[in-house]
Structure 1
Amino acid sequence: MTHPKHLTIQDFTYHLPEDRIARYPLPTRDESKLLVYRNGEITEHRYRTLDEHIPAGSLLVFNNTKVVEARLLFQKATGGVIELFCLEPAEATDITTAMTTTGEVRWKCLVGGAKKWKEEPLVKTIGNNGQPFQLTVHKEEKINDYFIVRFQWDAASLNFADVLHAAGVMPLPPYLNRKAEAADQERYQTIYARHDGSVAAPTAGLHFTPALLEKLAAKQVSTAFVTLHVSAGTFKPVKADTMDAHDMHSEFIEVNAAFIETIIKQLPAPVITVGTTSLRTLESLYWMGVKVKAARDKQLSFTNISVQHLEVHQWDAYELPRDIDAATALNELLLWMQAHDLPVLTARTQIMIAPGYQLRIAQALITNFHQPQSTLLLLVAAIIGMDWRKVYDYAMTHDFRFLSYGDGSLLWNSNK
Structure 2
Amino acid sequence: MDIEDFDFDLPEELIAQTPLKDRSASRLLVLNRKAKTMEHKHFTDIKQYLHQGDCLVLNDTRVMPARLYGIKEDTGAKVEILLLHQQEQDNWEVLAKPAKKIKQGTKLVFGDGKLTATCLDILDHGGRIMQFDYDGIFYEVLDELGEMPLPPYIKQQLPEKERYQTVYAKEEGSAAAPTAGLHFTTELLDEIRQMGVTIAFITLHVGLGTFRPVSVDKIDEHKMHSEFYHMSKETAKTLTDVKNHGGRIISVGTTSTRTLETIVRDHGGFVEASGWTDIFIYPPYEFKAIDGLITNFHLPKSTLIMMVSALADRKTILAAYHEAVEKRYRFFSFGDAMFII
TM bucket normalised to smaller: over 0.9
Q: How far apart are 1:76 and its partner, in Å? A: 4.4
Q: Which of these residues, 83, 87, 112, is aligned with residue 97 of structure 2? A: 112
Q: Which of these residues, 147, 168, 176, is aligned with residue 200 of structure 1? A: 176
* Aligned residue type for 2:44: R
1:259 equivalent in structure 2: 235
User: 2:226 matched to 1:250?
Assistant: yes
Q: Which of these residues, 105, 109, 116, is aligned with residue 136 of structure 1? A: 116
Q: How far apart are 1:163 and its partner, in Å? A: 3.1
Helix, strand or coil at the partner of 2:148? coil
User: 2:159 matched to 1:182?
Assistant: yes
Counterparts in 2 of 1:181 and 1:80: CA distance versus 1, 3 Å: farther
Q: Percent identity?
A: 37
CA distance in 2, matches of 1:228, 1:18: 29
* 1:256/1:345 contact within 8 Å kept: yes
Q: Which of these residues, 365, 369, 373, is aligned with residue 301 of structure 2? A: 373
Helix, strand or coil at the partner of 2:201? strand
CA distance in 2, matches of 1:204, 1:387: 20
CA distance in 2, matches of 1:81, 1:347: 36
CA distance in 1, matches of 2:168, 2:225: 25
Helix, strand or coil at the partner of 2:217? coil
Within 5 Å, which residues of 2 pair with 1:139-288?
A: 139-155=119-135, 157-158=136-137, 160-178=138-156, 180-183=157-160, 185-267=161-243, 268-288=246-266
Task: Give unpaired runs (5+ residues) of structure 1.
Answer: 1-6, 92-97, 127-132, 291-328, 335-343
Moved more, 262-271 or 76-85: 76-85
2:339 equivalent in structure 1: 410
The CA RMSD over aligned residues, in Å, is 1.7
Deviations, residues 264-310 of structure 1 (Å, cap 9, x unaligned): 110131110010011111111101214xxxxxxxxxxxxxxxxxxxx
Task: Give unpaired runs (5+ residues) of structure 2.
Answer: none
CA distance in 1, matches of 2:102, 2:222: 31
User: 2:2 matched to 1:8?
Assistant: yes
TM-score, normalisation: structure 2: 0.93
* 2:120/2:131 contact within 8 Å kept: no
2:71 equivalent in structure 1: 75
CA distance in 2, matches of 1:220, 1:246: 41
CA distance in 2, matches of 1:406, 1:13: 19
CA distance in 1, matches of 2:95, 2:126: 5
Q: Which of these residues, 315, 318, 321, is aligned with residue 389 of structure 1? A: 318
1:95 equivalent in structure 2: none
2:26 equivalent in structure 1: 32
1:326 equivalent in structure 2: none
Counterparts in 2 of 1:116 and 1:148: CA distance versus 1, 3 Å: closer
CA distance in 2, matches of 1:147, 1:235: 16
* 1:83/1:112 contact within 8 Å kept: yes
Q: How far apart are 1:400 and its partner, in Å? A: 0.3
Helix, strand or coil at the partner of 1:86? strand
Computing the radius of gyration from Cα coordinates, the structure with the larger value is 1
* 1:139/1:147 contact within 8 Å kept: no
CA distance in 2, matches of 1:345, 1:69: 27
CA distance in 1, matches of 2:276, 2:99: 29
Deviations, residues 3-50 of structure 1 (Å, cap 9, x unaligned): xxxx21111010112111000011110000000011211001111221
* Aligned residue type for 1:359: F
* 1:135/1:151 contact within 8 Å kept: no
* 1:226/1:254 contact within 8 Å kept: yes
* 1:229/1:252 contact within 8 Å kept: yes
Q: How far apart are 1:79 and its partner, in Å? A: 5.5
Q: How far apart are 1:346 and its partner, in Å? A: 1.7
* Aligned residue type for 1:246: H
1:60 equivalent in structure 2: 56
* 2:68/2:146 contact within 8 Å kept: yes
Paired residue total = 334
CA distance in 1, matches of 2:318, 2:85: 34
* 1:140/1:147 contact within 8 Å kept: no
Q: How far apart are 1:146 and its partner, in Å? A: 2.7
TM-score, normalisation: structure 1: 0.77
Structure 1's consecutive aligned runs of 4 or more residues displaced over 6 angstroms after TM superposition are: none
Q: How far apart are 1:53 and its partner, in Å? A: 1.6
